[in-house]
Structure 1
Amino acid sequence: MQFKKTNRFWIFSLILLLSACTSLPDKPVPSRSFFYVGGSYVGSPGKEIMQGQMYVEKLQPQQVKQPYPLVLIHGAAQTATNWMMTPDGRKGWAEHFLELGYVVYMVDQPARGRSAWHPEVNGKLRMYTAPQIEQLFTAAATLGNWPQAKLHTQWPGSGRRGDATFDAFYATQVESLLSDVETQTLSQAAGAALLDKIGPAILLTHSQSGPLGWVIAESRPQKIKGIVSIEPSGPPFHNNAPGNPKARAWGVADIPLTYEPKVTAPEQIKTQVQTSPDSQGLIGCTLQAEPPRQLVNFRQFPILITVSESSYHAPYDHCTAAYLKQAGAPIDFIRLPERGIRGNGHMVMLEKNNLEIADFLHQWMVSKIKP
């Protein structure tokens, strides 16, 4: 059992290799490769280093059945291991989407994981503690303090330290850049370089990488065929925390977005707060004052925002969707329980019904994203 837990993805990779070795020369076979995109040299003459480069892993199916590749971008404290397998050894989304016929690209965000971090260039890091992960991700039913937390049933295990599945998951956690501005700036440049290399694609983002999808689309709107944003960082303009601390000064991002009429400073975006929430258990949204400015680079591709039943995002992700819709983006906002998918927390790609959720996302992409 322990062998299965720690080696499932590598067994999968070995199968890919053996398939390539034993297949006829003219028969397409699955393959796995990697490369880096982006990056620039910085430093004084004779002491230059490269910074901002992004690790990308490519999985190519035996037969490509989907018209566009899928780019999987992990959230805070995570790396591409999120997509490879679950911490209790089940099939991950990368393998599943590969079987559905997608070319799959997985990244480690710049200055994260296999993408080099330089403290003197990229700045300070942050790290989630084990108690924070327990409360927010894995044991919300007993530790969460938001209205929907008690509905969490899909984490595979107790979600507490000492449980093998929790320990396997926490072992994958890594430091993230403290600065959201630095993170988005680096990822926008690297994401644009990736799309320049691979061509039109679908972005699938999660949590902290939600704004990365928006800023990459801002940079290369003509190469985005769709964005699937799973519980993106939000809500607009502030964090849902005591005192509503300011965040995402440009609405859904911390770095500039193109509005019409033109905005040269975020203070020019006039806002208003809902007088009352849409329903019990939700926050009142901060939206644009009428008439709203339009996000002109978000008009030509479909967007899906999803939120699970029990996540700490459940009280506020509708605000991000409402803001984007108000700004002219063609967006669908779907709560998973509306599709009969219940009991999930924030880490949907790792939970017991992870493949059911992947299939739901696949069906949305097939129905909304046309060749």
Structure 2
Amino acid sequence: MAAPHEVPGRAITIRRGQFWIPGERVATPGGTVQRAPMFVQWEAPPDGAHPLPLVLVHGGGGQGTDWTGTPDGRPGWATRFVEAGFAVYVVDRCGHGRSPYHPEVVGPMGAQFPYEAATALFLPDEVRDEQTQWTYQREIGSADLDQLVSPMGPLPADLAESQRLDADRLGRLLDVIGEAVLVTHSAGGPLGWLTADARPDEVAAIAAIEPMGPAYAEFPGLGALTWGLTSAEITCEPPAQRPEDVAGRRIPALADLPVAVVTGGASAFAGFAPQVVEFLAAAGARAQHLHLPDHGITGNGHALIFEANSDDTVKPVIDWIRAVEEDRP
């Protein structure tokens, strides 16, 4: 078997770098430490880029590598966005990947992400025949499934606090790079809504890939979307006295914001996506359901960002972002 660098592939010239969004300084018996910094890796075309950069926010127990590669070693969506002319900023959410986690500072960890949960989420047996784009091995002990599960770690046990931390760091990232389009996946979905709430003038649009939902859903062992589509509090008008009052109220940060809720044809998330769109539209967003089969792309599950046809699944998203840019005054 050839080494990865010996496998033929498309050459791409890029500019790249990395930096940190620091966390708060916390005094401990051992000295002053930092709480929950966020690692940021960026890439851009060699000569200029589209006006709006993209911020790629991974889901659940994953990390930024969800966007940079696939289980079979192909380039991920991040590379395809750069090839399309966009600058991309890929984050490791607080406590994930290269963003360090210490429970005495960040808070208790949740459970480690098991193989069984990964298979139930990304390649459930009940849609095996429809999920034709999962061409990788499926069995626990297989090399492909090892590649899928290896980067997955625990989430903070307090889902609301985890979302608050991430939204704060993402907001401060936007303070550095300026107005941007957020591209979120799965449990990263709530961070799109919360980051817009934190920096309404710096979020130009949100492409939510298979976002968590529907509103007020509970996820055993993980937490609940207490405030509609988020676990952390989000601002609405008139102000909500209780989390359950958010539904149907205007969320000022989402007013007239372009949002695409993107789903695969073999994903359970497609079933409740219309409810997510309805909730966002009631909040004031210009929300639409971008269902891949409607664009001639079939056979995809929850992992559509790194399934076998990931080079195809990204194309409608690129087209949608370009249309958002063209529609701007």
TM-score of the two chains, using structure 1 as the length reference: 0.82
Q: Confirm or deny that 1:337 pairs with 2:293.
A: yes
C-alpha deviations, 1:101-139, integer Å up to 9, x for none? 11111000011111111111222232221122122213x
Q: 4+ residue runs of structure 1 moved beyond 6 angstroms?
A: none
Distance 2:267 2:304 in 1: 9
Residue type matched to 1:210 in 2? Answer: G
TM-superposed CA distance for 1:196, in Å, is 0.3
Report the CA distance between 1:95 and its aligned residue.
Answer: 1.1
Deviations 1:29-76 (A, max 9, x none): 622211001411112476221012100001121123411111111001
In the alignment, does 2:250 pair up with 1:250? no
Q: Which residue of 2 aligns with 1:365?
A: 321
User: Are the aligned partners of 1:88 and 1:156 in contact in 2 as well (CA < 8 Å)?
Assistant: no
1:131 equivalent among 116, 119, 131:
116
Q: TM-score, normalised by structure 2?
A: 0.91
* Equivalent in the alignment of 2:305: 349
Q: Mind listing any 5+ residue stretches in structure 1 that lack a counterpart? A: 17-28, 270-287
Which stretch has the larger CA shift, 294-303 or 245-254? Answer: 245-254
Question: How many angstroms does 1:2 deviate by?
Answer: 4.8
Question: What amino acid is aligned across from residue 232 of structure 2 in structure 1?
Answer: I
The corresponding residue for 2:93 is: 109
Match of 1:199 among 178, 195, 202: 178
SS across alignment from 2:270? coil
Question: Aligned equivalents of 1:79 and 1:357: distance in 2?
Answer: 20
| Cα drift, residue 7 of structure 1 | 8.2
Matches within 5 A, 1:173-212: 173-212=152-191
Q: How many residues align?
A: 325
Task: Indicate which of 40, 60, 70 corresponds to 1:86.
Answer: 70
Residues 236, 247 of structure 1: 8 Å contact kept = no
Alignment partner of 1:57 is 2:41: yes
* 1:305–1:331 Cα contact (<8 Å) kept: yes
Matches of 1:2 and 1:112, distance apart in 2:
30
Q: Could you tell me which residue of structure 2 aligns to residue 234 of structure 1?
A: 213
| 1:162 aligned residue (133, 141, 161) | 141
Aligned twin of 2:102: 118
Secondary structure of the 1:166 match is helix
RMSD: 2.3
Q: State the identity as a percent.
A: 32
SS in 1 for 2:206: strand
CA contact (8 A) 2:256 2:284 kept: no
Counterpart residue type for residue 34 of structure 2: M
Residues 1:171 and 2:150 are matched in the alignment: yes
**Hey, what's the Cα distance between the residues in 2 that align with 1:7 and 1:229?**
35
| 8 Å contact kept, 1:237–1:246 | no
1:305 alignment counterpart: 261
Based on CA coordinates, which of the two structures has the bigger radius of gyration?
1
1:121 aligned counterpart, secondary structure: helix
Contact conserved, 1:37 with 1:190, CA < 8 A, in 2?
Answer: yes
